Amino acid sequence: MPGRLRPNPFMAIGIAILVASCGSGPGVSVTPSGTESVTWPPVGWPTDSGMTLMPTAPGDIHLIKHVVMIMQENRSFDTYFGTYPGVDGIPMAGGSPTVCVPDPANGGCVTPFHNTANKELGGPHGNSDARADIANGAMSGFVGQQEGAKKGCSPTLSPACGAGGPPDVMGYMDQREIPNYWTWAGGFVLQDHMFEPVSSWSLPAHLFMVSGWSAKCTNPSDPMSCVTNIGSPGLPTSAKPSPYAWTDLTYLLHKNNVSWGYFIRTGVAPDCADDAMTCTPGQQTAAVASIWNPLPGFGDVAADGQLGNVQSIDDFFTDATDGTLPAVSWVTPDGNVSEHPPNLVSAGQSYVTRLIDAVMAGPDWSSTAIFLAWDDWGGFYDNVAPPTVDGSGYGLRVPGLVISPYARQGYIDHQILSFDAYLKFIEDDFLGGQRIDPATDGRPDSRPNVRENAPQLGDLTADFDFTQAPRPPDVLSATPQTDLK
C-alpha cells in the first residue's frame, strides 16, 4: 500500500491509545473527512491501550551523551498529527471534524480538511496574529488571519497567487503525506502538548530555543539593560554586532566544558524580518547572525571565543558519521528544506530523514536523544488553546517528537511542554541541574523568570526508559512514496 507506514521490527509495545482522548482503540479504521479509510496502526504492530503517563523515567539520564535538537518551520500540531489516534487532536465525530472556523471574507465557516498539497501558503504568524488566532481561547481566528494577511514583497510568493479554494490553514496531513514523521511517532515518542515557548514568530522562538528568553537591550554590553520583546527583538547590525546581551545556554556549557555546536544549512532564509507571511527570501550562513541563526549575535558567545561552534550543516553530517557529535547540537535548515510555506513539505521530510538517518547510522546513536520540533505554528489551525506561563507565552502548539534508542516505544506524551523543556533536559543531563538563572549562573541579566522552572513545564525524562537495552537504528528512506501533489 503506497504511502503507508511499515511495521517497525524494533517495536515492543507499539502505539499506545488513550481512549479518553479520541474514543478510538488499536486497529481503528481512521477516516479523515473526505478521505479513504486508513487502518491505524498497520497490521502487525503490537498495541497497548492501557498507556499511563510516566511521571519520571527509570534509569540514568546520563546514558544520553548527545542531545540533537532539529528545528523545522511553521507547522501546527493539528496540521501534521491532528488525526493521529490517541492524541488531543482535531475534534471528530464519525470520522468528520466537528469544528468549523469562521470565514469572514466569504461567510460561513471552514472545517478542517485532508490536504495533499506539497506547497502551502500558511498564514501570518507574529504576536498579534497569535492573539487573533487564539481568540481568547476560541481558536477561531485562523481563516480570517490568512485572508487578511499582508501581501508579500515578492509577487510570486504572495497569497494572492494561486491561493484559490478553501484556506489552506485548515488543512491537515497524515501518514499518506508525511509517512516518516508518522513512523517516528509510532516507533518512538509523540508529544501532543508541545507549545512554542513564545506567542510569536521565528526569531523570538529561536532566541527562546537557545536562551529561554526574547528581549531587546538598550546597551549591548549590559545584560541588565534588556527588556522582554517578543515582537521585534532585532537583528545584529554593523554598529551592534552582538545585540543580545543576556545569557544563553552556551555560556553554561562553555563554563562547564560541555561541547556544543549550532549547525545551519547555508542558503535561503525566507522568514520575514517583520513577521509577515511572505517576503523576498534572504540568505543565511553560519558566520552571520540571522533569524534562524541567533547565536552569533549573543555577546557571551563572542566573549567565550565560541563563534566557531556555529557551523555548516556539512559539519554535522561529518560528526554524525565519525562519531564526534558534540554533547549538544542545534540543527536548523535553510528555506528550501524548512517546510516554511511556500517551501515543499516533501523536501523538509527528506532533509530531516537524512539528518536522523545519519545519526542512527553513526557510532553515537546508542547514546543520543533527538528532539524534533517546528519553531512556530505558521498560521495553521490548532484546536488547543495554549496555557499562559508569563507575558511571553506559551505560543500555539507545534509537533514534537523524541527519537532515541532509549525513547519509549509508541508513546504519546500528554505533558505540557515547550522548548524550555529542551534546556531543562540538557541542564539536568550535563550541568547537574544548573539553570540559566541570573541569581546562580554567575552572569546576571534582567530576565523576569527562569523558564525551565515554570511549574506547568513537564519533564522530558518521562519520554525515556533508561533501563531498556538501546534499540538498534531503523533507517528510513529519505524519498518515501507519498500522496503529496
Torsion angle (degrees, nearest 10) of CA 85, 88, 92, 98 = -160
Strand ranges in 56-177 using DSSP code E only, listed in sequence order = 66-72, 92-93, 96-97, 101-102, 109-110, 113-114, 171-172
Query: pLDDT tens, 399-442?
Result: 999 999 999 999 999 999 999 999 999 999 999 999 999 999 99
CA distances from 95 to 1, 71, 113, 477 (A): 21, 31, 11, 30
Q: What average pLDDT score do residues 165-189 get?
A: 94
Q: What is the pLDDT of residue 242?
A: 94
Q: What average pLDDT score do residues 205-232 get?
A: 97
Q: Does this model's pTM top 0.85?
A: yes
Strand ranges in 73-229 using DSSP code E only, listed in sequence order = 92-93, 96-97, 101-102, 109-110, 113-114, 171-172, 189-191, 194-195, 215-217, 226-228
Average of per-residue pLDDT values in the chain: 86
The C-alpha atoms of residue 31 and residue 83 are separated, in whole angstroms, by 9
- Grid cell 543576556 — which residue? 246
Query: pLDDT tens, 117-176?
Result: 999 999 999 999 999 999 999 999 999 999 988 554 343 333 333 344 568 999 999 999
Query: pLDDT tens, 71-124?
Result: 999 999 999 999 999 999 999 999 999 999 999 999 999 999 999 999 999 999
Query: pLDDT tens, 371-384?
Result: 999 999 999 999 99
Phi first, then psi, for residue 417 (nearest 5°) are -135, 160
Percent of the chain with pLDDT over 90: 78
Query: pLDDT tens, 276-322?
Result: 656 666 788 998 899 999 999 999 999 999 999 999 999 999 999 99
Q: What is the pLDDT of residue 158?
A: 33
Q: What is the pLDDT of residue 279?
A: 64
- The three-point CA angle 286-380-233 to 5° equals 45
By three-state DSSP, how is residue 459 classified? coil
pLDDT above 80: residue 28: no
Query: 3-state SS of the chain: helix, strand, coil percent to 5?
Result: 25, 15, 55
Q: Residue 305 contacts by C-beta under 8 Å, 6 or more apart in sequence?
A: none
| Sheet containing 411-413, strands listed edge to edge, beginning at the edge strand earlier in sequence | 310-312, 260-264, 328-332, 66-72, 368-374, 400-403, 189-191, 411-413
Which among 130, 95, 137 is positioned nearest to 113, based on CA atoms?
A: 95
Q: Pick 14 or 134 by higher pLDDT.
A: 134
Which grid cell sits at 218?
A: 538598550
Q: Pick 309 or 43 by higher pLDDT.
A: 309
* Helices 179-187 and 345-361: angle between axes, nearest 10 degrees: 40
